[in-house]
Amino acid sequence: MLAGVWTIYRKELVDTLRDRKTLVFMLLIPAAAIPLMFAGINALVQRAQRQTAVEVVRIASDADSQRRYVQLVHQWFLGTQLQKTFRLAASPLFGALLKPEQTAGATVPGEIFDDPAAFQRWTQGLARAAREGIDDPADKSAAAAQIELPDALRTELVEFYRVALKGLGLVEFIDPAVLAPPPPGFVAAAGRPGRPAVPGFERFEAALRAKELHGYLVIPPEAERIVDAVSPTVLITLIHDSTLRLSKEAGERVAYVVEQAGQRVVELRLAARQLDASFVLPLDMQGQSDLATESQIAMAIIGGILPYFVIAFAFLGGMYPAIDLGAGEKERNTLETLILAPASRLEIAFGKFLVILTTALIAAFAGLLSIVASVRYLDAPELLKEIQLELSPVTALLVALLAIPPAAAFAGLFLAISIYARSFKEAQNYIAPLQFVLILPAMAPMLPGMEINATLAMIPLVNVSILSKELLRGAVHWGYYVTTFLSCFVFAGACVAYAVRQFSREQVLFRS
């Protein structure tokens, strides 16, 4: 029995590995998909972030609203630790914002600390000069991260970038009176119910649709006495359209400025009344109470995604060889010769099953290695870059070994289908749609509340995906681990038994 299985396995493996299509599905796609995906997503995201980050948004606002807005940002600036550093004319902080060649002549004019309008002009100049050097603050490769700074200052620098440069320096205010009248026949949209009324709304909306304008800002006079007079909350209006990229950006920038400026007002109000910050924050949660380390939290997230890729790659790696080894034999007229050899049908089916299992495993491992290499050597997503992942060799091995059960399940299932099919094309038609059905269990860990239990441990594929998530977050359930292997192997065994039966059925062997 073993000699027969070995003979068939050896021959089929050589035959399969010489097939270019198999090599593409088994090695090239699993190895290249993840790095390409990482590189592609990063490139797109970074490009979009950079592009939006340095673009000027145009906001219509009357002179009073504009002045109040500038005052709010200026007031915020004066409350930062950063402004003290900036008072030193040749602040090294410029190095964090500008390119080295721009830093040389950069100075901080004294009037920015007293005159909001001068502060506005300075931020505009700084922002525009620095446009080329500015990266999104979320991007840790930005200049701000490359110089030695105390953490608090670094945080303030990022805030300065967001509030003063993006929120003010890169905002161009436009007098609503100069807006062109809407074209003939233009009908203004009603917008959401309760939308604040602004004068000349139709002209504003026409300019918004034409992408000449990105928002309409109205700040009521009460905003000017906001520190001294405790009035009802002052509502600031920015009419915009969040479905348009820069209009959405304008909305986000102003909202952030308002939030930060509001916090500054609270600080000033508390200081004026000699009250502590706890006065407005009577209750809070103690930080660092989460027992899970950052690595474990990240692993739990990765654990939700990783099995999806492993299962998908095992599927890809097993699919093509399976079709070739069953239906392909019929199509090439080699099946009859094979069944007339003295090998038993079980030997033939099992030998072929092992080959499909091998290729599915190679694909899954190639995919896993590619993921590890991509995370380590490529621009990985933020989460992975920031956190030092801790993974013990034993856990890594246990996770890697979990590729075996789905590979076995696929190998058995694909072989049974392939032997039943009368041609290569028919087998493809049966197996290809299974991708959608079989990938669903791989998504199980992404569903909320999915934790391994005795029932789930017996469902092939679902058990693998949930268990790898558990393993990655540091929990090893040996009982469920063994159950997972058993359930997938029982499923695979049933499929191989079905394949053996199909190998013995004349209607199947000689279907044409």
Partner 1 sequence: MIEIHNLGKTYPGRRSVPVRALADVSFECRPGEIFGLLGPNGAGKTTALRIISTALRPTSGTGRVMGFDIVADATAVRRNIGFLSSNTGLYGRLTAREVLTYFGRLFGLSDERIRARIGELSAVFSMSEFLDRPCDKLSTGMRQKVNIARTVLHAPPVMVFDEPTAGLDVLTSRSIVQFVRECRREQRTVLFSTHIMSEVEKLCDRVGVLHEGRLHFCGPIDELRSRYGADLDEAFVRIVGEAA
Residues that bind partner 1 (CB under 8 A): 3-4, 7-8, 11, 14-15, 18-19, 332-334, 336-344, 506-507, 509-510
Q: Please identify, using beta-carbon distances, which residue of 27 and 298 lies nearer to partner 1.
A: 27
Q: Please identify, using beta-carbon distances, which residue of 16 and 483 lies nearer to partner 1.
A: 16
Q: Please identify, using beta-carbon distances, which residue of 225 and 511 lies nearer to partner 1.
A: 511
Nearest distance, CB of residue 314 and partner 1, angstroms: 23
d(CA 351, CA 81) in angstroms, rounded, equals 72
Question: On the CB side of 45, how many CA atoms lie within 13 Å of its CA?
Answer: 13
Q: Please identify, using beta-carbon distances, which residue of 327 and 413 lies nearer to partner 1.
A: 327
Nearest distance, CB of residue 18 and partner 1, angstroms: 4
Nearest distance, CB of residue 501 and partner 1, angstroms: 14
- Which contiguous run of DSSP H or E holds residue 216? strand 215-218
Nearest distance, CB of residue 341 and partner 1, angstroms: 4
Q: What is the DSSP letter of 390?
A: -
How far, rounded to the nearest angstrom, does the alpha carbon of residue 296 sit from its chain's CA centroid?
18
Q: Which two tokens stand for residue 120?
A: 């506005």
Query: Could you tell me where the DSSP H helices lie in 161-210?
Result: 201-209
How far, rounded to the nearest angstrom, does the alpha carbon of residue 475 sit from its chain's CA centroid?
25
Nearest distance, CB of residue 23 and partner 1, angstroms: 12
Q: What is the DSSP letter of 485?
A: H
Give the other-Cβ count within 10 Å of 301's Cβ: 19
Beta-bridge partners for 239: 216
d(CA 388, CA 398) in angstroms, rounded, equals 20
* Whole-number Cα distances in Å, 291 to 295, 310, 471: 11, 29, 17
Nearest distance, CB of residue 43 and partner 1, angstroms: 39
Nearest distance, CB of residue 506 and partner 1, angstroms: 5
Q: Please identify, using beta-carbon distances, which residue of 284 and 506 lies nearer to partner 1.
A: 506
Contacts of 248 (CB under 8 A, 6+ apart): 240, 241, 242
Q: Please identify, using beta-carbon distances, which residue of 237 and 344 lies nearer to partner 1.
A: 344
Q: Are 318 and 360 in contact (CB under 8 A)?
A: yes
Q: Are 107 and 153 in contact (CB under 8 A)?
A: no
Question: On the CB side of 386, how many CA atoms lie within 13 Å of its CA?
Answer: 10
Nearest distance, CB of residue 12 and partner 1, angstroms: 9
Nearest distance, CB of residue 492 and partner 1, angstroms: 24
Burial (Cβ within 10 Å: 0-12, 13-18, ≥19) of residue 417:
buried
Nearest distance, CB of residue 40 and partner 1, angstroms: 34
Q: Please identify, using beta-carbon distances, which residue of 14 and 180 lies nearer to partner 1.
A: 14
Give the other-Cβ count within 10 Å of 421's Cβ: 24
Q: Parallel, antiparallel, or unpaired: how do β-strands 215-218 and 237-239 relate?
A: antiparallel
Q: Please identify, using beta-carbon distances, which residue of 45 and 339 lies nearer to partner 1.
A: 339
Q: Please identify, using beta-carbon distances, which residue of 18 and 192 lies nearer to partner 1.
A: 18
Q: Please identify, using beta-carbon distances, which residue of 276 and 506 lies nearer to partner 1.
A: 506
**Full strand arrangement of the beta sheet holding 215-218:** 171-174, 57-60, 215-218, 237-239
